[in-house]
Structure 1
Amino acid sequence: MLAGTPGSARHSSSPATGLKKQPAEPRPSASVILLSPMNQVLLLHRVHTSSAFPSAHVFPGGNLSAFHDGDIPPSGDARRHADSLPYRLGAIRETFEESGILLARDMRAGGDALLNLSSADRDEARRAIYENRDRFVDWVERVGGVVDAENLLPFTRWITPEATPKRFTTQMYLYMLPLSSSEDPAIAAAQSEAMIPTPDGGVEHMAARFDDAASWLEKQRKGEIILFPPQCFLLQLISQFLTGPLPPRAGSVNNLAARATEHYAWQRERLRGFLDAVPTATEPRAAGHHTARIPWKDKVISPVTLGLRRSDRRTILGLDKPGLELKGTNRGGDLERVVLVKFGKGVVRDVEVRSREEVLAEEREAERAAEALKL
C-alpha cells in the first residue's frame, strides 16, 4: 500500500517550540501490477473504514515483514530504496494474502507452470501467514513450489512526501500471468469480481477484479471508483500498450485463439520494452532533463505540490523529485507529466495525468488574464 497524499515539500514545525518536526521514516512496502492472461489489471476495492486508501481501488501490496521476507535494509542504507529480494518476497506474499493469487512455480511439474492449489488450502495458508504462524517461503516450499520472484518486473518506486504523517518507500512491480488459459480458482474469482475472503476478516478489502487499464481509468473519470495518484499514473502509462482484446475477425475458433494469444504477447513485448527504454520524455525541456535518462524500471517518484490550479482548485503534483531520503543523488522520476488531483479529508477525486508544460502554460495564461482584469 502507498500513501497518496502529497502534503508539502517543507518540514512541519511544532507550534509550541517553532522547531522543525522530523519527518516520519518511510516504511518499506511493495505492490504488484498484476496482468491477467488477457492483460487486464487486478485492483482490490478497499472498504470505507480502511486505515489507508478508504474506499479506493488499489494494487495488491503492503508492508515488508522481516519474519517472512528476510533482512530489510535499515534506515539510512541506500538499499532501503532499491529493488531487492525482500521487496520481491513481500510483494508476492502480500498479493497472496490479499487476493489468494499465488505467484509461485510448481516444481513438481518442472517449474514451468504456476502452482495451483485448492481454495480451501489457500485460505488456510493465508490465515496462517497473515497471523505469522507460518513463514510464507517455507509454506510455498512444503507444498511443492518456489516463489516466482525473478519474473517480477520493477516499475517505479514511490516515496511518500516528508510532511505526510505515514510514509512509505514502495517498490512497484509488474507481473504477467501466463497467457495460456488457467483453472486457478483465485484468478477465476478475480475475473468475475468475486468477494474474496481475506485473512483479516474483511477489515481492509471488499473484492478483487481484473479489468482493462482503460476501463479502470474511465470509471475513475466518471466518479465510479477512487484511484489515488500513483495508481492512476501507472494505469495511464500501461494503457498505452495494453489496449484491450483483438478486434473481431472471421476465422476458426482455434485460429482466433492463437491470434488472441499473439496479440496479448505483442502488447506485453512492447510494455517490457517501455520499462527499459530511454529517453522517457519527448517534450524538449523534459527530454533534456537527467530524469529522462532514467528508465521507468528505475524511476523514483516523491510527489511535490507545485500549486493550485486557478480554474478548478486542483492540486498540481510534480513527479520529478526522488524525495528527502534520496536528495542529492542522481535518482528521480518524471519531469514531463504532472498529476492533477482534488484532496479532501483522506479522499481524492478528479485525478488526471497531464503534460507538465501544458498545465503550467495554462496557469501562466490564467495569471495574465487575472492581472489584466485588475487593470
Structure 2
Amino acid sequence: MSSHQRQTSSLTSTSSRDKAINNAIARPRPSSSVIVLSPTNEVLLLHRVKSSTSFASAHVFPGGNLDGFHDGDVPGEKDPGRHIDGLAYRLAAVRECFEETGILLAKRLGTLVKLPTEERDKMRKRVHANEVNFTEWLRSFGAEPDIAGLIPFTRFITPVNVPKRFTTQMYVYLLPELPAGISSEIILPVADGGVEHTAAQFAPASVWLDRARNGSVTLFTPQFYLLHLLAPILSTSSAPSPGKLGNDIAAQRKALLLFLARVPTADTEEGNQSPTARIPWGEKVICAYDMQVKRADGRVVLGLDNPGPELEDTGRGGDYEKVVIVDLRKKGRPENIDVRMRAVVLREHEDTTDIQFDENRGAKL
C-alpha cells in the first residue's frame, strides 16, 4: 500500500478521539441557521458583536438556538430527531431571522407579511425577550411562518475540541421578487442594535468569499464552505443587459434547486466512489476535524466527511470530496481559509512528504 493509500485509508475511519462520547465532550445544542437570498440572489450575513461567546466578530448567517417557548418540543439528547430537520428547527430559523434582521419569513394570503416599521422593531424585541409567543403572535393577524419555504442544506455539528457545541440545521430561503407597489423595506435587513450584531448586509456570495480571503471579514468553516458551494451557481458570467437580469436570476435559482436535489453530490469520479456522495445535500452532516496533514504555510486541513461522535455508525456523513484548509493559530480564529479538493491536497502532501524523506537521506532532487 502506498503512503497516499495509507493516508486516505486512515482518514476514512473514525478517529479514536471520536469513538467515545464522554463527559469531556460538550453536548451539541440544537440550533438553526438560514441562508437568506435576496430577490437578486445576494446572500445575507450578519456581523456579530465582539463580546459574543460564539463566532465573536465573525460574519454569520441569521440563526440561533431552538427555544421550547417559541418552537415547541425541542428534541432531547437521545431523541432521533435531535440531528434531523424538523418543525422545531424550521420555526427557530424563521423566528431567529426575524429577531436578528427584521425580515419576517411569514405569509398571509400567500404573500410575505409587511409590518409597519415601529411594530416590527417592537415585536423583534418582545419575541427575543420571550414576552410573546412568536407563532401565536403571527396567527393573531392571520399569518403563518413560511416553514415550507426553507430548503435544508446540510447540518453542521461543532467539532469535539470546542467547549460550546451546536448541532445546526442549515437552510436556504429564496426571497421572492416583490409585487408592484410593495415597499422594499419588507426585505431590507436591519441589525438588532448591537444586541448580537452590529451590521446586516446582502452581498454576492463571491464577494463575501473575496472579503474573507483578503481578511476584511471573518468567516468560519460552515459559512465559508457553504458560500463556496453557492458562489458558482449564483454568479453571472457577464453584466446583464437591460431586461436580462430577471432571466439570469431565475436561471440561477433553477440551477440552485437542481444542485440541492442532486445525487450523487460529488463533482469527480473519484469523489463519487465515497458513500457520502449518495447523501443528499439536505441530509449531510458535517463535523469538521483535523486530518493531521501538516502544510508548509502553517495551515491545517479539515476533513468534512465525518458526522461527529454523536452520529457514529449511523451511516450519515458530510462531504468526503472536499476539505477546508485554514490557519487557526490566532486563538482558533480562521485566517487564509479556502476549500480544496481532498485528493489534490493529499497528493500535494504526499509529494512534499516524499521530498522531505529523500532530503533527509541526502538525495539529490
Which residue is equivalent to 2:253? 268
Contact 2:156 2:167 in 1 (8 A): yes
- 2:183 partner letter: E
Contact 1:291 1:332 in 2 (8 A): yes
Counterpart secondary structure, 2:91: helix
Mapping of residues 25-40 of structure 1, within 5 Å: 25-40=27-42
Mapping of residues 125-140 of structure 1, within 5 Å: 125-140=123-138
Which residue is equivalent to 2:348? 362
Which residue is equivalent to 1:10? 17
User: Per-residue deviation at 1:187?
Assistant: 2.4
User: Per-residue deviation at 1:140?
Assistant: 1.1
Which residue is equivalent to 1:325? 310
- 1:361 partner letter: R
**Hey, what's the Cα distance between the residues in 2 that align with 1:217 and 1:306?**
23
Deviation string, structure 1 residues 217-245 (Cα, Å, up to 9, x no partner)? 01111111100011000000011210048
Counterpart secondary structure, 2:77: coil
Contact 1:119 1:186 in 2 (8 A): no
Which residue is equivalent to 1:66? 68
User: Structure 1 regions of 5+ residues with no counterpart?
Assistant: 1-7, 14-18, 191-195
Q: CA RMSD in A?
A: 2.0
Which residue is equivalent to 2:6? none
Which residue is equivalent to 1:282? 267
Which residue is equivalent to 2:92? 90
**Hey, what's the Cα distance between the residues in 2 that align with 1:372 and 1:137?**
66
User: Per-residue deviation at 1:312?
Assistant: 0.9
- 2:48 partner letter: R
Contact 2:191 2:200 in 1 (8 A): no
Deviation string, structure 1 residues 12-61 (Cα, Å, up to 9, x no partner)? 99xxxxx9643111100000000000000000011222211111110000
User: Per-residue deviation at 1:102?
Assistant: 0.2
Which residue is equivalent to 1:3? none
Counterpart secondary structure, 1:262: helix
Picking from 280, 283, 286, the partner of 1:301 is 286
User: Per-residue deviation at 1:313?
Assistant: 1.3
User: Structure 2 regions of 5+ residues with no counterpart?
Assistant: 1-14
Which residue is equivalent to 1:208? 200
TM-score, normalization: structure 2?
0.90
Counterpart secondary structure, 2:89: helix
Which residue is equivalent to 1:291? 276
User: Per-residue deviation at 1:341?
Assistant: 1.0
Between Structure 1 and Structure 2, how many residues are aligned?
A: 344
Deviation string, structure 1 residues 131-174 (Cα, Å, up to 9, x no partner)? 10000001111233111001100000011122321111000000
Deviation string, structure 1 residues 237-294 (Cα, Å, up to 9, x no partner)? 0112100486243x5xxxx1xx322221110111111111111113333211111011
Is 1:43 aligned with 2:50? no
Which residue is equivalent to 1:143? 141
**Hey, what's the Cα distance between the residues in 2 that align with 1:155 and 1:104?**
20
Picking from 11, 15, 26, the partner of 1:24 is 26
Mapping of residues 159-308 of structure 1, within 5 Å: 159-180=157-178, 183-185=183-185, 187-188=187-188, 190=189, 196-198=190-192, 202-244=194-236, 247-249=239-241, 256=243, 259-308=244-293
Deviation string, structure 1 residues 300-349 (Cα, Å, up to 9, x no partner)? 11111102433111110000011111100111110100001111214211
**Hey, what's the Cα distance between the residues in 2 that align with 1:185 and 1:10?**
49
Residues 80 and 224 of structure 1, relative CA distance in 2, 3 Å threshold: same
Counterpart secondary structure, 1:297: helix
Is 1:78 aligned with 2:80? yes
**Hey, what's the Cα distance between the residues in 2 that align with 1:77 and 1:364?**
42
Deviation string, structure 1 residues 81-132 (Cα, Å, up to 9, x no partner)? 00001000000100000000000002xxx22x10001221111101111110
Q: Percent identity?
A: 46
**Hey, what's the Cα distance between the residues in 2 that align with 1:295 and 1:12?**
25
Counterpart secondary structure, 2:75: coil
**Hey, what's the Cα distance between the residues in 1 that align with 2:156 and 2:81?**
14
Residues 225 and 51 of structure 1, relative CA distance in 2, 3 Å threshold: same
**Hey, what's the Cα distance between the residues in 2 that align with 1:31 and 1:348?**
20
Which residue is equivalent to 2:301? 316
**Hey, what's the Cα distance between the residues in 1 that align with 2:159 and 2:16?**
7
User: Per-residue deviation at 1:360?
Assistant: 0.7
TM-score, normalization: structure 1?
0.87
User: Which is worse superposed, 291-300 or 237-246?
Assistant: 237-246
**Hey, what's the Cα distance between the residues in 2 that align with 1:286 and 1:224?**
33
**Hey, what's the Cα distance between the residues in 2 that align with 1:243 and 1:175?**
17
User: Which is worse superposed, 362-371 or 238-247?
Assistant: 238-247
Counterpart secondary structure, 1:51: coil
- 1:211 partner letter: A
